[in-house]
Amino acid sequence: MNDDDEGFIIQERLTANMSGGLFLVLSNLFLAPAVYESFYLHEDASAIVYFNLIIVSSLYHSCRAGFFCAVSYLDHRKLDYLFVYFAVLWTLTTGLGRSHAISMRVRMLVFCIFFLPVGILIIGDQHGIAVQIVGGLLPAAVMIVLSHNKGVRLFRRLPWAIAAFALGIISGIFMYAMPYKTYEWSHSIWHILSMLAVVCLIYSTKRHYLEENPLDDPEKFRR
């Protein structure tokens, strides 16, 4: 741990308060709809990914507020950031261009290729643009190219996709544009908006019919 880390911890602890910490912890429950919808669609792995993020984020903000720490504060901070990007990578690789034309084997290959460098960056205490590029922009670009090459649409329900992007953009304002002294409430709002964006993204890639189709075109081949 270097001096910058120690200073950051002291600063966060001094600015944390009980009501703000409780708000941050409880705001993680807005990811619960994504867990439910994933279970409903029989995508158990996705449900577990989102459930784990709820737990890890809640533990981090609980530790930050001085309620309870399962591991060291710095480890909580890194775990929270790591699981956020785990969920981002998982959502991008398993959600975009949902079709059997892009096999799960290929999707997991893309996931694993990008997760290792993301993990290295985060463990190395990087929180800047490099993590966002490697953990978000590049895997999204790969999935867009794969979908285009396979003739698969990125989204099945465009209005839900637009809602997801709109929520994501608005949440970014609360994440990056708000002053640090507003962290408790601005970061909580970021939780709420970004987690609702995940649900919208799930709906945007949801099949119109639940049964699987070898050609994976339920809109064309009705029940």
Q: How far is CA 83 from CA 2, 57, 69, 213, 220, in A?
A: 23, 8, 17, 32, 37
Per residue in 42-63, pLDDT (tens digit) is 889 999 999 999 999 999 999 8
The answer to whether residue 87 is domain-embedded is yes
Alpha-carbon distance of 188 to 27, in angstroms, equals 6
Q: Which range is least confidently modeled, 1-5, 31-35, 110-114?
A: 1-5
- CB atoms under 10 Å from CB of 2, counted, come to 8
The answer to whether residue 220 is domain-embedded is no
Query: Do 100 and 151 touch, CB atoms closer than 8 A?
Result: no
Is residue 154 over pLDDT 80? yes
Pairwise pLDDT comparison (86 vs 11), residue with the higher score: 86
The answer to whether residue 174 is domain-embedded is no
Instruction: Give residue 218's pLDDT.
Output: 52
**Interacting residues of 140 by C-beta distance below 8 A, sequence separation 6+:** 92, 96
Tokens, residue 117? 């460098």
Q: Per-residue pLDDT averaged across 155-177, rounded?
A: 89
Of 201, 89, 94, the residue nearest 139 (C-alpha):
89
Alpha-carbon distance of 68 to 47, in angstroms, equals 25
Query: Do 71 and 78 touch, CB atoms closer than 8 A?
Result: no
Instruction: Give residue 137's pLDDT.
Output: 92
Tokens, residue 13? 């602890």
The answer to whether residue 63 is domain-embedded is yes
Counting the structural domains of the chain, the total is: 1
Side-chain half-sphere exposure of 135, counting CA atoms within 13 A: 23
Alpha-carbon distance of 60 to 78, in angstroms, equals 9
The answer to whether residue 127 is domain-embedded is yes
Of 155, 113, 154, 152, the residue nearest 134 (C-alpha):
113
The answer to whether residue 206 is domain-embedded is no
Q: Which range is least confidently modeled, 16-30, 108-122, 174-188?
A: 174-188
Q: Per-residue pLDDT averaged across 128-155, rounded?
A: 89
Instruction: Give residue 3's pLDDT.
Output: 42
User: pTM score, two decimals?
Assistant: 0.85
Give the domain extent around 52. Answer: 17-154
Alpha-carbon distance of 51 to 45, in angstroms, equals 10
The answer to whether residue 4 is domain-embedded is no
The answer to whether residue 186 is domain-embedded is no
Q: Per-residue pLDDT averaged across 107-135, rounded?
A: 89
Alpha-carbon distance of 31 to 51, in angstroms, equals 8
Q: Per-residue pLDDT averaged across 5-30, rounded?
A: 73
Exposed / middle / buried, residue 22 (Cβ in 10 Å: 0-12, 13-18, 19+): middle
Tokens, residue 176? 């990056």
